[in-house]
Structure 1
Amino acid sequence: MTQKLDILIFGAHADDAEIGMAGTIVKHTSAGFSVGICDLTAAEMSSNGTVELRKDEANHASKVLGLKMRSNLELPDRGLFVTPENIEKITAEIRKYSPSIVFAPYWEDRHPDHIACSKLVEEAVFNAKLRRYLPDQPPVQVDELYYYFINDLGRVDLMVDVSAYYGKKEEALSCYQSQFAKTHQNAVSTPLTEGYIERVRARDSLLGQRKLIPFAEGFATKKPYTVDVFNSK
């Protein structure tokens, strides 16, 4: 029987979730939450690295993060279109692990695959609860769907203090040497190889400054929050 997850995070490529929320992941796994990542593609169109190397890097990063599982749906890189077939595969993954909370990339980003992943996951979360959709699989009601930021910081509705876990975030990102460093003579210069990790660090530091904390990761939601009373404490 598949273990139920507290949190399931979707990314178009291995390293997406680490860029956006590795600190939050480690904060939760360290507290005993069961967390998993599903990468939609094998990133076969990446300018640097190979599919095999990216898989090894993701496995190493998963150990740093303390994940319960990591899967890859092997959908086509640069072919993440909102089709019934792709929605069905993601819905099946949600039903397999029955997470309480799902994360997806923010709906605006410079990379079209990140935008497509965001939309696909939103569609799948909705379909997962429909008992007449794929009726051979039990329906799953996801409590919350949150969006994390990769390349572009958008509207931040909430943020998590990850100061105590930021070293682990940098360790997880450093697992992806093929993406963030020019590791061989044929490496191609991309936005990721030109000080990208340093810019992520600066972004997370600047966001934390809003609440006078060293590092924070931001998230967006499309659902309003319910409060009993407004309290500044």
Structure 2
Amino acid sequence: MAAQLDILVFGAHPDDAEIGMGGTIRKHSLAGRRIGICDLTRAEMSSNGTVETRKHEAADAARILGLSYRSNLELPDRGLVGGREQIDAIVAEIRKLKPAIVFAPYWQDRHPDHIACSRLVEEAVFNAKLRKYMPEEPAHTVEQLYFYFINDTYESDLLVDVTSCHEDKMAALRAYRSQFETAGADTVKTPLNQGYLERVEARDRMLGQKRMVDYAEGFVTKLPYLVNLF
């Protein structure tokens, strides 16, 4: 049985979490936190690469980021329709791993699967705390749900300084060679292999400028922050 995690990050596809918050993941793993990524699909509809290739690339990225756990629910790529079965699979993962904090993609993005993943995870986080929902598994309350950006960036509620870990983030992204490199004549031209990593780096640098650090990653929360003292 998997050990309890401090943070569980959900993505629709292998590489989503790394794009949005690879630096934050690495920073927390270096601090001794137990971090996991759960990919909802195997990205079998991707224009480049194969399911098997993507699996190996995700494992390489996991090692670079120091993950304690990585899983794939093998839900259908471009088929995240939000049915009970899909929500239940995510609920089961949350209850198994008992994370204090969960991350999901921001609810606006050019890729419909990222939007669907956001909605599914938000529903699953809510259902996971209901003791009469799937009563065969003990309920678990997630303390905080944050949303990270993938393709599009909106106003952030929270910034994490990832300057010290940004090289590791980019190394984890470069592990996905099938997605971000033009490897040969059979490679299909997509936004991902047309300077996408350079744009990710530019975005993180732009976010960092808001608080005068070299690189930052941005997050949004639907719940207000609660503090005792400032």
Does TM, normalized by the shorter one, top 0.5? yes
CA distance in structure 2 between the aligned counterparts of 1:221 and 1:13, rounded to whole angstroms: 22
After superposition, where does 1:3-22 map in structure 2 within 5 Å? Answer: 3-22=3-22
Which residue of 2 is the match for residue 159 of structure 1?
159
Runs ≥4 residues deviating over 6 A = none
Question: TM-score normalized by structure 1?
Answer: 0.97
Which residue of 1 is the match for residue 79 of structure 2?
79
Q: Residue deviations 1:115-139, cap 9 Å, x none?
A: 0000000000000000000101000
CA distance in structure 2 between the aligned counterparts of 1:88 and 1:106, rounded to whole angstroms: 21
After superposition, where does 1:49-198 map in structure 2 within 5 Å? Answer: 49-198=49-198
Q: Residue deviations 1:79-104, cap 9 Å, x none?
A: 00111110000000000100000000
Q: CA RMSD in A?
A: 0.8
2:185 aligned partner, one-letter code:
Q
Q: Residue 192 of structure 1: SS of its match in structure 2?
A: helix
Q: Name stretches of at least 5 consecutive residues in structure 1 with no aligned partner.
A: none
1:117 aligned partner, one-letter code:
C
Which residue of 1 is the match for residue 200 of structure 2?
200
- Identical columns (%): 63
Kindly state the Cα deviation for residue 2 of structure 1 after the two structures are TM-superposed: 2.5
Which residue of 2 is the match for residue 214 of structure 1?
214
CA distance in structure 2 between the aligned counterparts of 1:89 and 1:36, rounded to whole angstroms: 16
> For this pair of structures, how many residues does the alignment match?
230
Q: Residue deviations 1:37-72, cap 9 Å, x none?
A: 000000000000000000000000000010011000
Kindly state the Cα deviation for residue 227 of structure 1 after the two structures are TM-superposed: 3.3
Q: Residue 92 of structure 2: SS of its match in structure 1?
A: helix
Kindly state the Cα deviation for residue 149 of structure 1 after the two structures are TM-superposed: 0.3
Q: Name stretches of at least 5 consecutive residues in structure 2 with no aligned partner.
A: none
Kindly state the Cα deviation for residue 185 of structure 1 after the two structures are TM-superposed: 1.5
